[in-house]
Structure 1
């Protein structure tokens, strides 16, 4: 299944992903005009939460929904789900074969490479067709206009909170980044946005705002912390998708109450120990502060923090919030992530191979793991967290 990574791993210095080549592949596979409604989620933070809650609502409404997210939690199978469940190894292998045949029919790469996230997006749209999905939910990997999700103009676009990220690639200011993400919308797209900063609000213009309470769900069916705004956005966006009817109240409660968000303020036991772990994909000062506050609310005290923030994340904000806590910093061995910034001298530094149940158990009984999604996936794998299914769909006749 190396088709997903082959061109990316063979890219030359300075090469970027080739959206035109991805479009040609999508056309060869007959994917450019999905026959079902599409809901696309873009933003800087909370995209996975919005996509999951949107998908759960659509499933409660009786639709068979295919969801494509990026990155995965523990395995690439999780990038493509139907009704919350990850595709099987056999299904992913079949999709890889189809993509491989399509790529082989294209001219050799000349203006860039096919990105892994983009290829999984195409595979997800193909799987939606094969699985007879009634709706597709796509999470952008990075950006909006420049992301492969833009190959499939959405009926509804949901914009989660936007802030400075990938500067020099998506834009130099939050406003420029917001406009780039808004570029995923086509002429007929309904655009909804979570609450934003004044700068981003101005850049997005007259889109529909989803304020607190805008999902119509009671608080006990929504996640705690900063993810609540994205969850509400996801549900509000799903409600606006063409053809969606309001689910029965009991079905809606059952499905939404079953939603799990591994790696987003999720708690786990470390196998073979008394250590309890809170894992969150916090990447800036605000997110780290919220995760620490949730851990202290639940436990009272925190024994240790394990952190992984590449150079382009808010390391300064993390240092400010983590002051006084023992910290272990993890440097991942991934070629597209850089870890060159100076760290506080009192922090321990380890590599990814040292993230094991045994090492986590030595850090105390109450440990937080915070950082980029690649890192939280590593931690979830180390503690064998359940990631196969993110919610339980209703027993609808439309799925029989």
Structure 2
């Protein structure tokens, strides 16, 4: 009879997993090696973790009494191994495994799950449009008898549309999932409902429907209290703080963002970067520039730690803006010039930094340099499709032309600015209008 270690090793090799693949949050691949050589006596919790990844029962690992999965013949077994591969982020292997299954041999009652797994694989590969197509097909074969799967599919479709930046469709699918939840909530995991509320809230905020976003967030918090399930609580607080920023409720935004930081501070996650950035902006809006810089510096430190180039550029922009509003043009100028010299990414952030540097030059009576930078910002905005920034470009152009005595050009630029103005709620370059 085989030992437990031999059964772990045999099953791991059958699935093509490495020892690293089986390692967990509290034990390394070295522990797996000891277990396989029967030189360690793992706890039941560790065995449950390993068994789940290997898609076997704990009793099989302990006693070898459970029937092993026959990967060569059984469709159910073949389908069951796909989630294990997905958990290990082996998406290409999962795609290969599912392609080896003849779709015609899949039973009708398994077809919905089979197609949903195809969608899950495409999500893992970042192919969100293909994933949506699979998920929509999965809906056809998923009945109300499998309500949890049905709601899960709507949640995943909503996730995909968020990644595709089609927030209206993300809202529609989240609402569909919540509608089903209303009638079958006793059968569905509350975590799923909170995921739907989060998708709904986030999507509303992305299309500047901040009041609706705040309503969804408030409903989610009430549901958390009702169920004592606080999944996504930190992200809801973070999103609430952002929504308050864009609705100019800065003190409420500070309170929410501080709560978000409190709930995620120990995790050192990348979301903390955004929290500290938002907090710095919120303090700047109430003119507490000292706290603004303190929190923006924390965001910068985390951006460097995580090697996150977008957040690094964004945080430097916000720090430069804070120095500018304090009146410390020199510090702001140094930051802007350094970022423009060291950044190849010609994004909207790059345009904003170019505009800020142009404004500094304008404030310092260096109008020719300011005009050159504004013209460059205009070219970049049009090249990247950043037409939302063109109103700022032409407002600054108008100011420069007016300072040079070119009044007709100033009027023309101002008219162009008005034609491009979108009237967004919060705007970190709003001082251009002053």
TM-score, structure 1 normalization: 0.29
Larger Rg: 2
Q: Which has the higher contact order (CA 8 A, sep 6+)?
A: 1
| Greater helix share, structure number | 2
Answer 1 or 2: which has greater strand percent: 1
TM superposition score normalised by structure 2: 0.27
